[in-house]
Amino acid sequence: MSDLQHQRILELCQELRLSAMPNLYSGIAQSAAAKAASFADFLEETLRAERDARSARAREMFARVAGFPTIKTLDGFDFGFAAGVPRPQIHELAGLNTRKGSATPLCRTAKRPSG
Mean pLDDT by 10 residues, the chain (115 residues): 85 90 88 91 92 91 82 80 84 70 50 52
Q: Is residue 78 part of a domain?
A: no
Residue 82 inside a domain? The answer is no
Q: Is 96 a member of any domain?
A: no
Is 107 a domain residue? Answer: no
pLDDT of residue 50: 92
The conformation of residue 113, written as its DSSP 8-state character, comes to P
* pTM for this prediction: 0.56
Q: How far apart are CA 87 and CA 80, in angstroms?
A: 10
Q: Is residue 100 part of a domain?
A: no
Residue 90 lies in a domain: no
Residue 36's pLDDT is 92
Query: Domain residues for 14?
Result: 3-68
Total domains in the chain come to 1
| 110 part of a folded domain | no
Whole-number Å distance between alpha carbons of 93 and 79: 15
